[in-house]
Chains A and B, each alone.
Chain A
Amino acid sequence: MDPIILYIVACVLVGGVLASLGVHLLPVGGAPAAMATATGVATGTVMLMLGAAMCGLFTAASVATYTSNIWLVALSGAVASWLMMGVTMLLANLLYVFGAGVVPVSGRVDMDPITKESQKEYKTPQCDGHGVPNVSFISGMIGALLGGFGGALMYFALLKYANFEPTMAGVAAMGIFVANAIIAAYNIGGTIEGFQDPKFKRLPKAILTCGIISLLSGVLVWVVANMGGLIL
């Protein structure tokens, strides 16, 4: 068997699973977070992850023009996503603190597992936390790093191994990424605070589902590339 098939399928599989893992780590509060009623960033899971991954894809595409090292391309994409998430969460916190006057606290744990700061007495009653506390911030940064890495890995496999045209590779990588992100979003049901959230324990199911979907996508990419005459 041609090793190129294995490369393509493996990269898409790993990329898809990392995308799913990344989504589970993001602190996403959805609509309630916009009213400071839930902890996390005030937007949908898929939108936030996609925003970060798109930043990663942009940088990965630039880097792929001047290096053909897969790890460097994937890491560049990961760092772009990590910066996007970091700046977004930091400035969201600025708005929470100075615009709405709330203290960032977690609603799911009584004590921040990283900084050991107590959370409970700072929380408004009848709220599920508010703002982006430190533990969620770090969890989100790790999630963006993994998600961006996965997205960039898929892009590189499509570009260099399956010989897609750059824009087409970008669109295809994004499509596979979105499929995995949506599965993960269903699994967490709208809001999650990060790895400290009890919902994070649902991860194995999503990883399995995303693994199967990514595997199918990888095979499909190979079929498209082969039938389209892209792999000679």
Chain B
Amino acid sequence: MNLSLLVLIPTLTALALLFCKGLKQVRSVALIAAVVQFVMAGILLCNYWNERTSGNSEQMLFQYRATWFAPLNIEYFVGVDGISIAMILLTASVVLSGILVSWKMESMSKEFFFLLIFLSAGAYGFFISLDLFTMFFFLEVAVIPKFLLIGIWGSGKKEYSAMKLALMLMGGSALVFVGFLGVYFNTTTSTGMHTFDLLKISQMHIPLEAQKIFFPLVFVGFGIFGALFPFHTWVPDGHSSAPTAASMFLAGISMKLGGYGCLRVATYLMPEAAQEYSTIIIVLASIAILYGAFATMMQKDLKYINAYSSVSHCGFVLLGIGMLTKTAITGAVMQMVSHGLMTALFFAAIGMIYDRTHTRIVAQLGGLLKVMPFIGTVFFIAGLCSLGLPGFSGFVAEMTVFMGSWEHVEIFYRIATIAGCASIVVTAVYILRATGQAIMGPVVDKHHLELQDAKWNEKFAAGILIIGIIAIGVAPFWLNDLISPSSEIIMNKILSVATDYTNYH
């Protein structure tokens, strides 16, 4: 299977969009592109299973390499393992549902869909690349469209949020790049050149001194994408100002770039430093989880509620990575997928409500379930998933993280785990309160009685995400089987150096 198609198809559609005329043409091209991406992600999953069941135990499948800048030994090098496939599936679902939700986008629709599709190309490229330079290239491709998406089509203080988001994320990627350079210059291949090749670097040993300097750079850099406390401040502003589809992309895809990078690059390539800094990561992640949860309690705007709860939920991802056990890492990846689907669904529901009521303030809403049963239910499902009800993906993912964390017996890890568990109670409080006020109860505003329920496109959009959430929630083993062999490889690398590391001290 040719992985480059995942980048090529969105890029070509984005270019094709530029030549489209009229809203109809634009959105049908965009929709076709999204469906094709979705189908391709499905085919990729099937092919992957086939290869694995037929006994192909290579770490990365469907590899393809081409020399890019020979003097610097930069390659275009792609390949996937279970973790990347999970992220690609997530991306494809969010893209499809995001396009469907924006069906009614009328102002500058061509540019809007162009940027959405272009962003997805960056995200796919990031998840499949195995060369650090290629990876960095795609990481940055996925940032700037967001600036325009939020700044042009957003609401509220959109210019401020767009600028803040762009600068913070680019700041993150600047740190990442310095870290990458540090890794690069500490590698030597058989030909005497340095290399950006992720697989080759993972076979080498980066000197401990270098790891100690460059791990924080890479981890914090990616952490900014993944809402690492205290660099999470772009999340609430960015999400709340963004148009619906952009919010979905931000929460569903962009924040996952960070978690994936922390795991795949920082932890995997610099395992000793990961152990060295794991306590700090755990502390920051726990703060993010609790702080995010409590901050959400104080919010009155639905989008802010979801944005702050994202900070809290993404804290679980970083907590899982910081714990450095196989189960916790698997849980972290599952949490990424689950959170991506769930927040995208949440933002889709909020967007649908906002399109109709023109308000997102909880107090001005009420009784929406009676007026708009479908949208109300979608909101309700997203809420239940967010608070970790069994049967939905959130429960499975968070449970896995907790189980993985509990494998550590030291009191420090226990406290962090308990703090994480405690946040679920807070989550329940704010979710139930928001749902109770906005969805249940009497209708507050008389005008709301005349509102229409969801259209076909919105139903489809929500349907895709809900199927994903339930598929993971009811039958988590397939996702687990997909991810855990890959997280085992990462874990083995960490364990293999763990013994050296204790000897070293």
A and B from one complex: no
Instruction: Point out residues on B near A: beta carbons under 8 Å.
Output: none
Instruction: Point out residues on A near B: beta carbons under 8 Å.
Output: none
